[in-house]
Structure 1
Amino acid sequence: MLSLHTNAAALSTQNSLSSTQKSLSTSMTRLGTGYRVNSAMDDAAGLQIATRLDSQTRGMAVAQRNTQNGISMLQTGEGALNEVSNILLRMKDLATEAFSASSTATDKTAMQNEYDALGTELTNIVKNTSFGGTQLFSDGTTIDGSNGKMSAAMSFQIGASAGETMSVDVSTQLTALATSLGAVSSQYNATPAAGTELSATANTLLTTLGTAIDKVGELRASFGAAANRLDHVYNNLQNMSTNTTAAKGRIMDTDFAAESSTMTTKQMLLQSGTAMLKQSNSMSGLVMSLLG
């Protein structure tokens, strides 16, 4: 029907042009930002899922740093204990030599001086070994294994949720080690005194030193086991983070191949629709030809 008041073809073409222009604008925005979802209107459910995945990914990234920092702290403590072990081995060498009849009183005095110096260094290591400004084995004053970072159970946040924690408790081993070190040298206490360990008549000091060396080994083993577990935690977090990031990308990222094709199609439709709108508007002129 030819009508001056209603041009159905023009109205239909205008609606199609509006829809095409909107789709073209969406495609251009996606290609411009690189994101398929730029607002909740684009994919409300997908945005919610992606946000949850992003939260998990960010939490795991921080947890990975936590595990690495935890390993570094444990390795700092283990490194200090390695030196404690070396000192105790040297003290045992001195004690073994001192308790031989071939050693003179003068020899024993020289050995005792070195033994005392080593005992003083044991105190220094226990008092001053720190990580990030915090003493690990003591509070900087006491040397009985109390009041340090490792004197109580340590909790590591190893995941993005509240339940993902790891507890490491070496307080019992640390206290036992401090007690053993106190038995090894009179220099290892709050008020050090000149040592007489190597002038004793019985060689029980060798057994005492052996016990202290065993205690160092026990604590080092605990550190090593905890550090190994944290390393496995890190590897698992890396795996989860990789797959979670990939899942988020499938929701949020633009598929440039598909979106470029869509944009080209919409551009062509916009051009053809504009041409057809021009043609549909000329149809009203046919009415006037009927009146001529």
Structure 2
Amino acid sequence: MLSLHTNAASLSSQTAVGRTQQALNTSLTRLGTGYRVNSSQDDAAGLQISSRLLAQTRGMAVAQKNTQNGISMLQTADGGLDELGNILLRMKDLATEAFTASTTSADKVALQSEYDALGKELSNIIKNTSFGGKQLFSDGTTTDGTNGLFSSGLTFQIGATSGETMVVNTSTNLTALATALSGVAGTYATPATPGTELVSGATNAMIDTIASTLDKVGALRAELGASANRLDHVYNNLSNMSLNTTNARGRIMDVDYAQEASNSTQQQLILQAGTSSLKQANSLSQLVLSLLQ
């Protein structure tokens, strides 16, 4: 039917052109941003899943940094204990040399002088070994192994959720070591007072005391090393989970450029055809005028 008031062909063409234009705009937006989902309207369920995956990957990235910082802190403590062990070995050498018949009283006084200096350094390590401005073994004033980071359980956040934590508690071994060190050298707890461990009247039992203390150093270092190794495995596992979670989010959010470029070309051709059809549909009203001539 020819009508001046209603052009059904034109209306249909306008609707088709509008839909094609909307599809083309969506395609061009995806090509411009690189994302398949740019608003909840594009994929409501996909956007929700993607947001959850993003929160998880970001949490795991921070947890990875936590594990690396934790390993660094444990290695700092282990380094301090390593030097403490070296000092104890030297003190054991001095004690072994002191308690032999060929060592004179004057020799023992000289050996005691070095022994005292080493005892002061033991105290310095326990007091001042720190990480990030926080003492690890003590509070900086005492030598009994209290009020430092390792004086109580340490909780590491190793995942994206509240339940993913790791507790390292070295307080028992640290207290045992601090107590043993106080029996090795008088200058450990009271640096201003010279010791008497190697001079006249002392016995060679100090050799065994130092050996026992070295065992306690080893026990604490073993605990720190085991915890550092576990954190290393935690980091590797987080890397694996983060990689796969990121890939999963990419499959939801990222645009397939090959497919989207094809879609864009198709929509452009359809839009051109629709525009041409609309132009022809709008010219149909001219046929009515020709009937009236």
Mapped partners of 1:239, 1:69: distance in 2? 19
Name the amino acid aligned to 1:262: N
State the match for 1:270 in structure 2. Answer: 271
Instruction: Please tell me whether the aligned partners of residues 74 and 227 of structure 1 are also in contact (alpha carbons under 8 angstroms).
Output: yes
Task: Map Cα deviations across residues 114-137 of structure 1 (whole Å, 9 max, x no partner).
Answer: 100000000001000000000000
Mapped partners of 1:110, 1:198: distance in 2? 10
Name the amino acid aligned to 1:261: S
State the match for 1:186 in structure 2. Answer: 186
Question: Superposition pairs for residues 123-202 of structure 1, below 5 Å?
Answer: 123-190=123-190, 192-199=192-199, 200-202=201-203
Instruction: Please tell me whether the aligned partners of residues 112 and 197 of structure 1 are also in contact (alpha carbons under 8 angstroms).
Output: yes
State the match for 1:259 in structure 2. Answer: 260
Instruction: Please tell me whether the aligned partners of residues 59 and 159 of structure 1 are also in contact (alpha carbons under 8 angstroms).
Output: yes
Mapped partners of 2:184, 2:192: distance in 1? 12
The number of residue pairs the alignment matches comes to: 292
Name the amino acid aligned to 2:209: T
How far does residue 82 in structure 1 lie from its aligned partner after superposition? 0.1
Question: Superposition pairs for residues 79-158 of structure 1, below 5 Å?
Answer: 79-158=79-158
Instruction: Please tell me whether the aligned partners of residues 3 and 288 of structure 2 are also in contact (alpha carbons under 8 angstroms).
Output: yes
How far does residue 288 in structure 1 lie from its aligned partner after superposition? 2.0
Instruction: Please tell me whether the aligned partners of residues 127 and 142 of structure 1 are also in contact (alpha carbons under 8 angstroms).
Output: yes
How far does residue 192 in structure 1 lie from its aligned partner after superposition? 4.3
Name the amino acid aligned to 1:114: E
Task: Map Cα deviations across residues 251-282 of structure 1 (whole Å, 9 max, x no partner).
Answer: 11111111111110111111111111111111
Task: Answer with 106-115 or 199-208: which moved more.
Answer: 199-208
SS at the partner of 1:92? helix
How far does residue 290 in structure 1 lie from its aligned partner after superposition? 2.2
Mapped partners of 2:86, 2:203: distance in 1? 24
State the match for 1:282 in structure 2. Answer: 283
TM-score of the aligned structures, taking structure 2 as reference length: 0.98
Task: Map Cα deviations across residues 73-98 of structure 1 (whole Å, 9 max, x no partner).
Answer: 00000000000000000000010111
Instruction: Please tell me whether the aligned partners of residues 159 and 165 of structure 2 are also in contact (alpha carbons under 8 angstroms).
Output: yes
SS at the partner of 2:208? helix
State the match for 2:237 in structure 1. Answer: 236
Mapped partners of 1:289, 1:121: distance in 2? 112
Mapped partners of 1:195, 1:278: distance in 2? 107
Instruction: Please tell me whether the aligned partners of residues 20 and 267 of structure 2 are also in contact (alpha carbons under 8 angstroms).
Output: yes
* Percent of pairs with identical residues: 66
How far does residue 8 in structure 1 lie from its aligned partner after superposition? 1.3
Instruction: Please tell me whether the aligned partners of residues 143 and 190 of structure 1 are also in contact (alpha carbons under 8 angstroms).
Output: no
Task: Answer with 9-18 or 189-198: which moved more.
Answer: 189-198
Task: Answer with 36-45 or 164-173: which moved more.
Answer: 36-45
Mapped partners of 2:259, 2:24: distance in 1? 13
Instruction: Please tell me whether the aligned partners of residues 142 and 190 of structure 1 are also in contact (alpha carbons under 8 angstroms).
Output: no
Question: What's the Cα RMSD here?
Answer: 0.9
TM-score of the aligned structures, taking structure 1 as reference length: 0.98
Task: Answer with 4-13 or 131-140: which moved more.
Answer: 4-13
Name the amino acid aligned to 1:287: V
State the match for 1:249 in structure 2. Answer: 250
Task: Answer with 69-78 or 196-205: which moved more.
Answer: 196-205
How far does residue 201 in structure 1 lie from its aligned partner after superposition? 4.3
State the match for 2:19 in structure 1. Answer: 19
Mapped partners of 1:39, 1:159: distance in 2? 29
Name the amino acid aligned to 2:282: N
State the match for 2:2 in structure 1. Answer: 2
Instruction: Please tell me whether the aligned partners of residues 186 and 192 of structure 1 are also in contact (alpha carbons under 8 angstroms).
Output: no
Instruction: Please tell me whether the aligned partners of residues 56 and 160 of structure 1 are also in contact (alpha carbons under 8 angstroms).
Output: yes
Mapped partners of 2:65, 2:253: distance in 1? 26
Mapped partners of 2:144, 2:18: distance in 1? 80
Structure 2 residues not aligned, in runs of 5+: none
Q: Which runs of 4+ in 1 moved over 3 A?
A: none
Mapped partners of 2:247, 2:143: distance in 1? 50
SS at the partner of 1:155? strand
SS at the partner of 2:216? helix
How far does residue 241 in structure 1 lie from its aligned partner after superposition? 0.4
